[in-house]
Structure 1
Amino acid sequence: MFEKLIDSFEKLCLQIIIEILLVPVTIYKLFKEPHRCYDFAVQEMEKEEAERFLDYLSPIKLSVYTSVIVSVLLMDYSGEHNFISRIKGLSMVEKALFIFMMNNFTAVAFSVILLGYKKEKVNTITFRTLLFSFIYTTVYTSTPFFILILSAMFLGQTVNVQSYLNHLDQLSVSGNYGSRDYFFFIIFIVFLIIGIIGLIKLFKALHYILKENLRYHPYMIWFFTLLFFLIQVYYARGFV
């Protein structure tokens, strides 16, 4: 009994390690080619369930890891409050679940809209394909912020990112910047560049998904692409 428990724990740990390693691989593939948000979902849904998402992380798991990381970063440190910490009485797991639901609200909404257009039911492969595709597109808004926040944590040697940003505000008055502070400014420039690239990739990914599922005039596809893009960016700014 004990040996079976140890074996199960070993498999769980190994699975978690593999999935964590697949996070950067998946992000890289999606950043390289935006159309993969939809193509990956289509290809995987055509496979048997046991064979799906072996070479990269599934969109649901990717979103779960993202939500957990954000819930940790946005915890209430040193009495400083933020949006998530104002949700009184919630544990880190509950906060992660809340963030997961809010981050994927646009994915669910977009999928339902397209499903209505295609006149299909929710419990179909089409819905899961669309949902997976739209969840994958959140990579383009979340990745730049993770780079910036994790860099601030590393350079400031604290999980309280806000305290390091306050430290930078104080240095802006005195002008006594250290090597780590200059390195952070370089990271910030990288964040801006990747952020702009991410927005372009997001627009391309949304356009590709809509082009594959809508049969309206091209101008209508561009219109809905822009509409979905603006809505997703609006929600991303508050929950990423």
Structure 2
Amino acid sequence: MFEKLIDSFEKLCIQIIIEILLVPVTIFKLFQDSRRCYYLPIHEMEKEETERFHDYLSPIKLSVYTSVIVSVLLMDYGGEQNFLSKIKGLSMLEKALFIFLTNNFTAVVFSVVLLWYKKEKVNTAAFRTLLFSFIYTTVYTSTPIFILIFSAMFLGQTVNVQSYLDHLDKLASSGNYRSRDYTFFIVFIIFFVIAIIGLIKLFKALHHILKENFRYHPYVVWFFTLLFFLIQLYYTMEFV
């Protein structure tokens, strides 16, 4: 009995390690081609249930792991307050749940809207495909935040990004920069560039999903792409 328990725990640990390693792989693949947000769920949903998402993380697992990782980073280390004002004072589990729900709220709404337009029911494969596609698009808004949090935490010993930027402003007047400050500045520029690329990729991904499911005049598709894009961007900004 004890050996079986150990074996099961070993398999669970290996599975978790593999899936954590698949987080950056999945994000990289989605950044390579924004159309994968739609094609990857379709391709995987055509397989048998036991064969799905072996090479990449499923959207739900990706969202769960990223939510947990961010919540761990946003713990109150040494009395430092995090920069996400709306989740201060919450436990790690509460933060993870809040981030997970926030990331996926727009995906659920967009999926329901398209299902209503297509006159299909929620308990169909079409809903899961759309939901998975829209959840994948959250990668383009969450990845830059990942980079900023990691860089602020490891270079500034704090997750209070605003505090670190204020520190750099003070250094600018004195000119007493350290190598760590230059490194953070470079990382911040990388964060900004990836954020711009992410916004472009997000727009392309949303347009592709709508184009494949919203059979209207191209101008109408572009209008709703812009509308969905602004809603998702606004909801993300309101989260911070």
Residue 67 to residue 182, structure 1, CA distance change in 2 (3 Å)? same
More deviation in 182-191 or 209-218? Answer: 182-191
Amino acid at match of 2:81: E
Per-residue CA distance 1:176-224 (angstroms, 9 max, x = gap): 1111111111111111111111111100000000000011111000000
Q: Deviations over 1:19-72 (max 9, x none)?
A: 011111101110000000000010111111110000001110111111112222
Distance in 1 between the 2:2 and 2:155 partners?
Answer: 43
TM-score of the superposition, structure 1-length normalised?
A: 0.93
Q: CA deviation at 1:136?
A: 0.2
Partner of 1:122: 122
Rounded to whole Å, the distance in 1 between the matches of 2:99 and 2:28 is 23
Q: Matches of residues 185-200 of structure 1 in structure 2 within 5 Å?
A: 185-200=185-200
SS of 2:226's partner is: helix
Distance 2:12 2:233 in 1: 35
Give the whole-Å Cα distance in 2 for the aligned partners of 1:229 and 1:48. Answer: 33
Matched, 1:211 2:211: yes
- Following TM superposition, by how much is the alpha carbon of 1:239 offset from its aligned partner in structure 2, in angstroms? 3.1
- What is the aligned-residue RMSD (CA, Å)? 1.7
Please state how far the C-alpha of 1:166 moved relative to its aligned partner. Answer: 4.3
The answer on whether the counterparts of 1:67 and 1:96 sit within 8 Å (CA) in structure 2 is yes
Alignment coverage as a number of residue pairs: 238
Tell me, yes or no, if structure 1 residue 101 matches structure 2 residue 98.
Answer: no
Partner-residue secondary structure (3-state), 1:223 = helix
Is 1:83 the counterpart of 2:67? The answer is no
Q: Which residue of 2 aligns with 1:18?
A: 18
Asked if 2 retains the 8 angstrom alpha-carbon contact of 1:148 and 1:191, the reply is: yes
Asked if the contact 1:84/1:95 (under 8 Å) is kept, the reply is no
Conserved in 1, the CA contact under 8 Å of 2:34 and 2:204? yes
- Aligned pair in 2 of structure 1 residues 13, 84: CA closer, same or farther (>3 Å)? farther
The Cα of 1:84 is off from its aligned counterpart by 4.1
Report percent identity of matched pairs: 78
- The answer to whether the 8 Å contact 2:74/2:159 transfers is no
**Structure 1 gaps, min length 5:** none
**Secondary structure class of the residue paired with 2:219:** helix
Contact 2:80/2:158, CA 8 A, preserved across alignment: no
What amino acid is aligned across from residue 174 of structure 2 in structure 1? S
CA distance, structure 1, for counterparts of residue 87 and residue 120 of structure 2: 39
How far apart, CA to CA, are the structure 2 residues paired with 1:160 and 1:194? 20
Distance 1:24 1:234 in 2: 25
Paired amino acid for 1:23: V
Q: CA deviation at 1:171?
A: 1.9
Show the 5 A alignment for 1:120-199.
120-159=120-159, 161=161, 163-199=163-199
Equivalent in the alignment of 2:44:
44
Deviation at 1:160, TM superposition (A): 5.3
Farther off after superposition, 151-160 or 191-200: 151-160
How far apart, CA to CA, are the structure 2 residues paired with 1:112 and 1:85?
27
